[in-house]
Amino acid sequence: MIQLAGVPFQQSSMWPIGGVEDIIVQRMNETPVVYSYDSIEELIFEVTLRKNIIASARMMNEGNARFETFEKSRCNPQYWQLTRIGGFRLKPNVPPSEAIEDIFENSSMYAFECATAKIIIYYHAVLNSLGKYVFNRLFQNLYLYSWHFDPDLGIHTVETNYFLPGDVVYFDNPDFNPDTSWWRGENAVVLEDGTYFGHGIGIETAQQIIVHLNRRRKPGGYRSAYLKNSAARLDFKHLAKLSVLTRSYPTYKPRHFVIRHNKSSISFKQYVFYLYKVYTQMHS
């Protein structure tokens, strides 16, 4: 359910009936989870950003960016430097907004694995929600590699089986074939119509994605792929506050280490585990 300033929020006529926003709000109200907001503007921001995540996922699906492992990743050299480990580093003096938009506008020049695809979708959706001025001030040092993310995105794991459109979920393939290790799992954006977008698979139902993964099991493997009960979500409230960023806002911030693991298609939770290990080692 949705609470607005501590009071239950009922479906209103703010959004077209049957539209993406209306469906998102319905899903929120149908779950036993309480989604609490301080203001209607905060709720509108999250619903709009979730809608933009869905739109960005569908746009990527309609484009020509290929799924590839880190070793075979490629990008447009006008905007990005391809690093030795298969990451994309923003070139100096390139506006971050233009570089992100180019991935969708010149998609045939790009190839990346599925975790990187989800980060790209998130950045593109945030750009369309915050606008170019705020986005370019916040994300001046973009680096795309696996689940590496800027702290202002605030991506975090939510343990739940109540998924909302715009969440990123993970289909685990416990008996994946090590010869095709990129099928260890699939990161997928939850869409509004009950389907999911996975880079390299496309838009399919949960069962169809599970069938895809089961076909890539190792010889003798018998454990079925399955949808994990967790979701990766942006920090919508933090981003809502940044949407009214003033010129005096300090844009310097501590940045996460890039965890070089060379494993395609890992979950966000797995990446955070690697990140946690590095920070633990540094402070032990």
CB atoms within 10 A of CB 93: 5
When mean pLDDT is compared across 29-43, 47-61, 244-258, the lowest value belongs to 244-258
CB 21 within 8 A of CB 48: yes
Average pLDDT, the chain: 94
| pLDDT > 90: percent of the chain | 86
pLDDT in tens, 117-174: 999 999 999 999 999 999 999 999 999 999 999 999 999 999 999 999 999 999 999 9
- Tens digits of per-residue pLDDT, 47-98? 999 999 999 999 999 999 999 999 999 999 999 999 999 999 999 999 999 9
State the burial class of residue 98 (Cβ atoms within 10 Å of its Cβ: 0-12, 13-18, 19+).
middle
